Amino acid sequence: MNRWLLVAAVVVTLALPPLLPERHLGTFVLLGLAATVTAGVSMLMGYAGQVSLGQASFYAIGGYAAGLLTVHGVPTLAGLLAAPVVAAVAAVLLGAPLLRLRGHHLAFATLAMQLILLSLLGRGDWAGGAIGLQGIPTLPVGGDLGYAYLSWAVLAVVLVISRNIVASRAGRGLRAAATSEIAAAAGGVAIGRYRLTVFALSAAFAGLAGGVYAFYLGYLSPGSFPVLLSIEFVVMAVVGGLGTIAGPVVGATVIVLLVQALNTLGTQPGMPGYAPSVLSYAVYALLLVVTVLYLPRGIVPAVTDRLVKERRP
Amino acid sequence: MTSGAALEVSGVSRAFGGVFAVRDANLSVAPGELRAVIGPNGAGKSTLFGLIGGQLAPDAGSVRLDDVRIDRLPPHRRARLGVGVVFQAARIFPGMTTLENVMAGAHATTHAGFLAAAFRLPSHRREEREIRDRAAECLRRTGIEDWAHRPAEELPLGQQRALQLARALCGRPRLLLLDEPASGLRTAERERLATLVEDLRGDGLTILLVEHDVAFVMRLADRVTVLDLGRVIADGTAAEIRADSRVVGAYLGTAA
């Protein structure tokens, strides 16, 4: 049954882009990228018990790495491949001190990390400063339709990697350490190294998405990576369901569609100018509260639980 | 300087807030020996257990495993050198099946990392098969194979204890540390545990059993070490310990 659901999802995903009107194709691309970043957040939170409120930093680092390299003449494909690597290396360097912190302290530290990064990018002339980095070449994928397939192919790769890791020796070590550090360490899990590795892995996912983003838009500025974006990734992960493979896709889809609908509503004639931003902030808050209250484990676990119960009356 | 001992604890002390929990403790366990450490509540048994397993670091003294000094090593490094640990508290991994819990125990003696797993390299597949076989064997041995695919948190206490034991065995330890494994178990479960522990000793595994229940250890242990107020007050065979007046005074007398 699960297999058929997967096949259906893949068929719909492949069939959708040519059918979408031009103006919605961009949403489809950004949704694929958001789900890719969220897959990393979900692994970090759901399987390793760490919270990052600064995941957009690595999205930005990947984007700027790809952008800067290709603006300076590096081939686009090499730039795209460099994006996750640079983001992962940055995560290792930043994570070594940061991951000494736990829980809320870690969350705030990652938030601070992003604020510092945004300030550096805004002041750095080498990165285009506050105006942004312009003239990033495009990937030879054949326009928006190509990017739609590319972003979802990237998502598919990331989801397969996530699934492979979760069901492996390393994944068991991670899940064990998230629930009982003492017992995991006694079983031979090097907890510090594992925490750092999964932080770097989630950063690599974000960096790869950021690389595609840079080529897709051809332009980057610090304003493209607000703190709100990091929070959005966390909300997507929680709403979809932490510790599930499909959760990030479902969560990202729900949030993106909802924000889109509210944006349409907010820009109706007669609405005040601040309506769209107020509505989107409100929807994150509301959705998070409703999810935590009624579906504490997120949409995907709630649905699969129900399916399992129906089969075993 | 080799002692030939599997485990050598020399002059180990550990204080908490100025109070010694373990003071100048010495302990030498021969390869293949089943050693019990007994003592009244607060004698420092669990502290000594933590000092050997690596959950605690000693203030002074040394701990050697097969003549390799381990007292400054973190717990995961000690696990890789062959220290297997079964805690008294049910430190299981909820959200994972019983089989996965036991497979996690193989960590100490396996190697596949994130990259091998991410791309399902052949080395990873081979090792994964081996871990699964090994875990199944450990489940069989501890009698919980029927629970293999159930979430670990659904197991009753006795089975959770068995699960911890299976998990420790899956790491192929040279020294097995058991912290009050019989506490909270029913008589039948206790019997089964005793049989299993005897079985493991039969395989040549060195076992250190920290236990409050004197009757349980007296029939199992080759030698018994008695702790009181953090000090080793006696060390000998079960018969010698039973006849030792200091032990009777400190522990057996009050327990009887």
**CATH code of B119's domain:** 3.40.50.300
Assigned domain for A10 exists? no
Task: Provide the pLDDT confidence category of residue B256 given band limits of 50, 70 and 90.
Answer: very low
pLDDT of residue A310: 64
Say how many domains are in chain A: 1
Percent of chain B with pLDDT over 90: 73
CA A281 and chain centroid, separation: 18
Assigned domain for A208 exists? yes
A184 Cβ under 8 Å from any chain B Cβ: yes
**Residue B64 CB coordination number (10 Å):** 19
Q: Which helix (H) or strand (E) holds B207?
A: strand B206-210
ipTM of the complex model: 0.91
- From residue B139, how far is each of A173, A187, B229, B246 by CA, in Å? 19, 16, 38, 41
Task: Provide the pLDDT confidence category of residue B209 given band limits of 50, 70 and 90.
Answer: very high
pLDDT of residue A235: 92
| Alpha-carbon dihedral sign for residues B46, B51, B54, B56 | positive
Task: Pick B242 or B103 by higher pLDDT.
Answer: B103
**Containing structural domain, residue A107:** 24-311
pLDDT of residue A211: 97
A189 Cβ under 8 Å from any chain B Cβ: yes
**Whether the predicted pLDDT of B84 surpasses 90:** yes
Q: What integer is the mean pLDDT of A238-261?
A: 90
Burial class (CB in 10 A: 0-12, 13-18, 19+), B120: middle
Q: For strands B34-38 and B60-65, give the pairing.
A: unpaired
Assigned domain for B242 exists? yes
How far is it, in rounded angstroms, from Cα B83 to Cα B174? 6
Which chain A residues are closer than 8 Å to B93 by Cβ? Answer: 175-176, 179-180, 183-184
Could you give phi then psi for residue A219, rounded to 5 degrees?
-155, 135
Mean pLDDT highest for which of A140-149, A254-263, B169-178, B232-241? Answer: B169-178
**Whether the predicted pLDDT of A266 surpasses 90:** no
User: Are the CB atoms for B181 and B46 separated by under 8 Å?
Assistant: no
Tokens of B88: 């008294």
Which chain A residues are closer than 8 Å to B74 by Cβ? Answer: 185, 190
**Whether the predicted pLDDT of B224 surpasses 50:** yes
Could you give phi then psi for residue B231, rounded to 5 degrees?
-110, 150
Residue B5's Cβ-side half-sphere holds a number of Cα atoms within 13 Å equal to 18
* Contact at CB, B75 and A161, closer than 8 angstroms: no
pLDDT of residue A216: 96
**Whether the predicted pLDDT of A43 surpasses 70:** yes
* Contact at CB, B107 and A169, closer than 8 angstroms: yes
User: Are the CB atoms for B120 and A164 separated by under 8 Å?
Assistant: yes
| DSSP result, chain A | -HHHHHHHHHHHHHHHHHHS-HHHHHHHHHHHHHHHHHHHHHIIIIIT----S-HHHHHHHHHHHHHHHHHTT--HHHHHHHHHHHHHHHHHHHHHHHTTS-HHHHHHHHHHHHHHHHHHHHH-GGGTTTT-EE-PPPPSS-HHHHHHHHHHHHHHHHHHHHHHHHTSHHHHHHHHHHH-HHHHHHTT--HHHHHHHHHHHHHHHHHHHHHHHHHHHSEE-GGGS-HHHHHHHHHHHHHH-TT-SSHHHHHHHHHHHHHHHHHHHHTSTTS-TTHHHHHHHHHHHHHHHHHHHH-TT-HHHHHHHHHHHHH--
| Alpha-carbon dihedral sign for residues A74, A34, A119, A138 | positive
Q: Which residue of B has its CA nearest to A177?
A: B93
- Interval A81-108: pLDDT, tens: 999 999 999 999 999 999 988 888 999 9
> Among partner residues A164, A175, A186, which is closest to B96 by beta-carbon distance?
A175
* Contact at CB, B110 and A183, closer than 8 angstroms: no
B73 CA: distance to closest CA in chain A (Å): 12
**Whether the predicted pLDDT of A313 surpasses 50:** no
Say how many domains are in chain B: 1
Which chain B residues are closer than 8 Å to A184 by Cβ? Answer: 93, 104, 107
User: Are the CB atoms for B86 and B168 separated by under 8 Å?
Assistant: yes
A191 Cβ under 8 Å from any chain B Cβ: yes
Which chain A residues are closer than 8 Å to B94 by Cβ? Answer: 179
A173 Cβ under 8 Å from any chain B Cβ: yes
A183 Cβ under 8 Å from any chain B Cβ: yes
Assigned domain for A1 exists? no
> Among partner residues B112, B114, B124, which is closest to A197 by beta-carbon distance?
B114
- Interval B132-181: pLDDT, tens: 999 999 999 999 999 999 999 999 988 999 999 999 999 999 999 999 99
A63 Cβ under 8 Å from any chain B Cβ: no
**Containing structural domain, residue B121:** 7-255
pLDDT of residue B248: 74
* Contact at CB, B118 and A186, closer than 8 angstroms: no
**Whether the predicted pLDDT of B57 surpasses 70:** yes
Assigned domain for B232 exists? yes
pLDDT of residue B239: 86
Give B205's contacts (C-beta < 8 A, 6+ positions apart): B32, B173, B174, B175, B176
Q: Which residue of B has its CA nearest to A172?
A: B104
Q: Which helix (H) or strand (E) holds B85?
A: strand B83-86
Percent of chain A with pLDDT over 70: 98
**Whether the predicted pLDDT of B110 surpasses 80:** yes
How far is it, in rounded angstroms, from Cα B11 to Cα B93? 35
> Among partner residues B109, B117, B171, which is closest to A165 by beta-carbon distance?
B117
Tokens of A150: 């590319």
Assigned domain for B187 exists? yes
How far is it, in rounded angstroms, from Cα B70 to Cα B81? 9
Three-state DSSP state, B216: helix
Task: Provide the pLDDT confidence category of residue A163 given band limits of 50, 70 and 90.
Answer: very high
Using a CB–CB cut-off of 8 Å, the residues of B that contact A are 53-55, 74-76, 79-80, 85, 87, 91-96, 100-101, 103-110, 112-114, 116-120, 124, 127-128, 131, 164, 167-168, 171
Q: For strands B223-228 and B7-16, give the pairing.
A: unpaired
CATH classification of the domain holding A269: 1.10.3470
Assigned domain for A51 exists? yes
Burial class (CB in 10 A: 0-12, 13-18, 19+), B68: exposed
pLDDT of residue A185: 95
Q: What integer is the mean pLDDT of B76-103?
A: 94
Substitution target in A160, A179, A193, A308 with the highest count of B β-carbons within 10 Å is A179
A185 CA: distance to closest CA in chain B (Å): 5
A152-161, A177-186, A298-307, B182-191: range with lowest mean pLDDT: A298-307
Assigned domain for B1 exists? no
Task: Pick A296 or A174 by higher pLDDT.
Answer: A174
Assigned domain for B229 exists? yes
> Among partner residues A161, A188, A243, which is closest to B79 by beta-carbon distance?
A188
Q: What integer is the mean pLDDT of B200-222?
A: 90
- Interval A179-205: pLDDT, tens: 999 999 999 999 999 999 999 999 999
B209 CA: distance to closest CA in chain A (Å): 16
Assigned domain for B2 exists? no
pLDDT of residue A238: 92
A84 Cβ under 8 Å from any chain B Cβ: no
Three-state DSSP state, B183: coil
* Contact at CB, B93 and A179, closer than 8 angstroms: yes
Sheet holding B68-69, edge to edge: B19-29, B7-16, B60-65, B68-69
Output the average pLDDT for chain A.
90
Chains A, B: CB pairs < 8 Å: 106
Which chain B residues are closer than 8 Å to A190 by Cβ? Answer: 74, 76
Task: Pick A2 or B33 by higher pLDDT.
Answer: B33
- Interval B23-49: pLDDT, tens: 999 999 999 999 999 988 888 999 999
pLDDT of residue B130: 95
Which chain A residues are closer than 8 Å to B104 by Cβ? Answer: 172-173, 175-176, 184, 187, 189
**Whether the predicted pLDDT of B219 surpasses 90:** no
